[in-house]
Amino acid sequence: MERLQKVIAASGICSRRKAEELILAGRVSVNGKIVNNLGTKVSIEDVVLVDNKEINIERKEYYLLNKPRGYISSVSDEANRKVITDLIDTKSRIYPIGRLDYDTTGLIILTNDGKLANILMHPRNKVEKTYLAKIEKCLTMEELFKLKKGIYIDGVICKPSRVKIKKHDEEKDIDLVEVTIHEGRNHIIKRLFKEINHDVIKLKRTKYAFLELDNLNSGEYRYLSKEEVDKLYSYERK
Ligand code: URA
């Protein structure tokens, strides 16, 4: 059950303040009865009309997906490529929080909760994301040091909070590097390595905030628990 004014605002027709005005003005009905009390609570089973028009009460949904390669992090694509929302069995209009490149795999959250999406994407809230990057040519100590110190991209520093070489294959001249950052610029990991002259051959996001992929296979997803959603909400800095 949610407060009526919150549900009206969440349907997208107006702000919560405006919804309160509409309720007090007697322009809102619940299950056929005019309601003009701001303490009223409703659920998705109730029929809410504003000026005799039904509003869409959507249940909030939260999914953690292990994104496969070859999917666009979007709800539709002009070039008709596969999009990640195709992988989730729901009728709700969910969308990804942030994006992973077409060829990047790993953890991504999808939801229809715009408030949570804004909290998690706002740079002020510094949500950490961890990536595993397979890179061409082994890193030198100097390059590793540069990466740890932070690299300027388009004039703005990107300073990883952690960098760790997980595997060092001198024979193939390939490194597997774990990098944790708290920003969300497009292609940021590939651009970080490009700045020190390394191409990323494979990229996987293994962690988002406190969430991990656990045993989800590529293309599989699970629902987030109420506790997990509450914990994600707590990332909001007041
Ligand atoms: N950084 C990238 O370069 N690509 C992604 O998909 C995510 C982060």
Query: At residue 238, does pLDDT exceed 90?
Result: no
Q: Is the CB of 104 under 6 A from ligand 1?
A: yes
Active site residues: 101
Q: Is the CB of 40 under 6 A from ligand 1?
A: no
For residue 205, the CA-to-ligand 1 centroid distance in Å is 8
CATH class of 62-123+214-233: alpha beta
Q: Whose CA is nearest to atom 7 of ligand 1?
A: 100
pTM of the model: 0.84
What CATH number is given for 2-54 in this structure? 3.10.290.10
- In terms of Cα–Cα distance, which of 94, 95, 70, 100 is closest to 82? 70
Atom of ligand 1 nearest to the CA of 184: 8
Say what the pLDDT of residue 93 is: 87
55 to each of 3, 50, 114, 119, 172, how far by Cα in Å? 14, 7, 17, 25, 59
224 to each of 13, 88, 107, 119, 218, how far by Cα in Å? 27, 13, 13, 16, 17
210/231 Cα distance (integer angstroms):
9
For residue 97, the CA-to-ligand 1 centroid distance in Å is 13
Higher-confidence residue: 92 or 17? 17
Atom of ligand 1 nearest to the CA of 100: 6
Say what the pLDDT of residue 57 is: 83
Query: At residue 59, does pLDDT exceed 90?
Result: no
Q: Is the CB of 72 under 6 A from ligand 1?
A: no
- In terms of Cα–Cα distance, which of 25, 186, 206, 187 is closest to 129? 206
Query: At residue 72, does pLDDT exceed 90?
Result: yes
Q: Is the CB of 136 under 6 A from ligand 1?
A: no
Q: Is the CB of 64 under 6 A from ligand 1?
A: no
Q: Whose CA is nearest to atom 2 of ligand 1?
A: 187
Q: Is the CB of 189 under 6 A from ligand 1?
A: yes
Half-sphere exposure of 6 (CA within 13 A, CB side): 13
For residue 203, the CA-to-ligand 1 centroid distance in Å is 7
For residue 187, the CA-to-ligand 1 centroid distance in Å is 4
For residue 228, the CA-to-ligand 1 centroid distance in Å is 24
Q: Is the CB of 188 under 6 A from ligand 1?
A: yes
DSSP 137: S
What's the pLDDT band for 55 if we cut at 50, 70, 90?
very high
Classify 208 as helix, strand or coil. Answer: strand
Locate the domains of the chain by residue range.
2-54, 62-123+214-233, 128-208
- In terms of Cα–Cα distance, which of 91, 69, 89 is closest to 81? 69
pLDDT digits (tens, 9 = 90+) for 141-153: 999 999 999 999 9
Say what the pLDDT of residue 11 is: 83
Classify 26 as helix, strand or coil. Answer: coil
Task: Kindly state which CATH superfamily the domain 128-208 is placed in.
Answer: Pseudouridine synthase (3.30.2350.10)
Atom of ligand 1 nearest to the CA of 104: 6
Say what the pLDDT of residue 48 is: 95
